[in-house]
Amino acid sequence: MAARIPGFRLGIYVFKDAEIVDFAAPHGVFSVARRFDPELDAFLIADAMRPVQAQAGFTVLPNYGFADRPDMDAFLIPGGFGTRQEMHNGRLHEFVRSLPESTLLTSVCTGSWIYGVMGLLDGVAATNRKEPDRVESGPAGKVPIDRLAEIAPACRVSRARVVDAGRIVTAGGITSGMEMGFHLLRRAGWDEAAIAEVARVMEYQAAYELYRDDRDG
């Protein structure tokens, strides 16, 4: 296991109609992990410094806008209905492309569509949500992971809960943000015992053990 990265910083993108659990779960993991390492940091980034209405009217205030260019070790794009618009958000694409190569590009659920449409998943493995909702399971719908294969035909689509392809790390499933949070602690150099202790404090230990090895890469 690599040495811990001091002050590991996770920037989480928030946008209109983002899935609440997708961004709240990894933020929550880091919040609890800070009890063991106060130098950890997680914060919200938006297109601009104004309130953002996620799904179901849940409104958040970002810590930074794109123009602030905050330093971070990982950038996370959550899923949600809003990803259908974000796939065409040129400002987001420019921001992602401007990040240093050392910054991990991560996503939860349908957030990986954005990396796919940008061509960043060509030749690498990635995942997406595997369970459809009522709209997606209808005649005109498409399960998100199948749409990922359509958006990024050169991607190796995996059904693992977390897929680590090096710089790009994706998680599939609305609640998989929990596993993404734990895996980012792993990428920050935390050992399994320390991560398991965070899961125990969160009373998530049984689920953590269930999903811990559901990884690709």
Residue pLDDT, tens place only, 35-80? 999 999 999 999 999 999 999 999 999 999 999 999 999 999 999 9
What pLDDT does residue 1 have? 55
For 150, list phi and psi in degrees, rounded to 5. Answer: -75, -40
Q: Helices in the chain by DSSP H: which ranges? A: 20-33, 83-86, 90-98, 112-117, 144-151, 177-187, 192-201, 205-211
Contact between 26 and 202 under an 8 Å Cβ cutoff? The reply is: no
Tell me how far CA of residue 111 lies from CA of 126, 157, 215, in angstroms: 11, 14, 18
What pLDDT does residue 101 have? 98
Mean pLDDT, the chain cut into blocks of 10 residues (217 residues total): 88 98 98 98 98 97 98 98 97 98 98 98 97 76 93 98 98 97 98 98 98 97
Place of tokens 């921001």: 95
Nearest by Cα to 194 from 22, 25, 35: 35
What pLDDT does residue 198 have? 98
3-state helix, strand, coil in the chain (%, to 5): 35, 20, 45
CA Rg value for the chain: 16
Nearest by Cα to 133 from 113, 121, 147: 147
Place of tokens 């991990």: 104
What pLDDT does residue 132 have? 83
